[in-house]
Amino acid sequence: MLLAIENVLTDEELAYARELFTRAKFIDGRVTAGELAAKVKYNLQLPAGAAETQALTGLVHNSLHRNALFVSAALPRVVCAPLFNRYVPGMDFGIHVDNAIRIGEVTLRTDLAGTLFLSEPDEYEGGELLIEDTYGVQRIKLSAGSLVLYPAGSLHQVEVINSGHRDVAVFWVQSMVRDIAQRSLLFQLDASIQSLRSRDPESPEIVSLVGCYHNLLRLWADI
């Protein structure tokens, strides 16, 4: 499942994140790449220990956990500390698959990957995120403050930047529900429940559907 989520960051949070990017000092992004990815990764990255990185990490985590659509789709058990990347002209990230396990302060299985855009689409040329899914290659270039969430096992790449700069936060999620099909069914069921609640909040079917949702989650969750 590939899902775009708009306005993950508020205007104030986005402005703060962009201001932190303007004063930060970047390093070679290959320091956090796996052996194969390092051969095709060409970008800049904030150091993990930088003050800006710590502030941005808290901001992104808070925004994700309060976003009902993200929580419903990802059912997050663990969200790793994001990588904060910048692409300038000539930089790209060739086609690759993310490592199945990320080892760090928190070790997790990468069920889902997320890219949170911090630059507006008209601030750079090129730089589209290409993701291969069931329906072919999807070209992603979202507004600043918006997020794309997709299976971490997907082949994906970032096309070369021709002008401007592309700032993003990239992170991975270990879901409480490992199986993609099960997670997708839960997401669809939750969306249907929310739609019914908005149309008919007193509907007697809501309690039964919520019960089905939680019993399935109880059956499938790995915590």
Alpha carbon distances (Å) from 65 to 3, 41, 68, 69, 93: 16, 29, 8, 10, 28
In this predicted structure, the answer to whether residue 3 has a pLDDT above a threshold of 90 is yes
Residues 57 and 15 in one domain: yes
pLDDT of residue 180: 96
Mean pLDDT of the chain: 96
- The DSSP result for 56-102, as a single string, is HHHHHHHHHHT-HHHHHHH-EEEEPPPEEEEE-TT-EEEEE---SEE
Residues 216 and 144 in one domain: no
Look at residues 45, 43, 39, 35 and name the one whose alpha carbon lies nearest to residue 83.
45
Which of the four pLDDT bands, split at 50, 70 and 90, describes residue 42?
very high
Alpha carbon distances (Å) from 69 to 16, 46, 80, 177, 220: 23, 28, 18, 16, 20
Of 32-41, 153-162, 213-222, the range with the lowest mean pLDDT is 32-41
In this predicted structure, the answer to whether residue 35 has a pLDDT above a threshold of 90 is no
Q: What is the CATH number of the domain that holds 108?
A: 2.60.120.620
Residues 103 and 161 in one domain: yes
For residue 107, give its domain range: 3-175
Residues 97 and 44 in one domain: yes
Residues 129 and 47 in one domain: yes
Residues 28 and 95 in one domain: yes
Residues 163 and 98 in one domain: yes
What is the pTM (predicted TM-score) of this model?
Answer: 0.95
Q: What's the total number of domains in the chain?
A: 2
Which of the four pLDDT bands, split at 50, 70 and 90, describes residue 133?
confident
In this predicted structure, the answer to whether residue 59 has a pLDDT above a threshold of 80 is yes
Using DSSP's 3-state secondary structure scheme, residue 18 falls into: helix
Which of the four pLDDT bands, split at 50, 70 and 90, describes residue 15?
very high
Residues 73 and 134 in one domain: yes
Using DSSP's 3-state secondary structure scheme, residue 186 falls into: helix
| Residue 117 Cα to chain centre, angstroms | 9
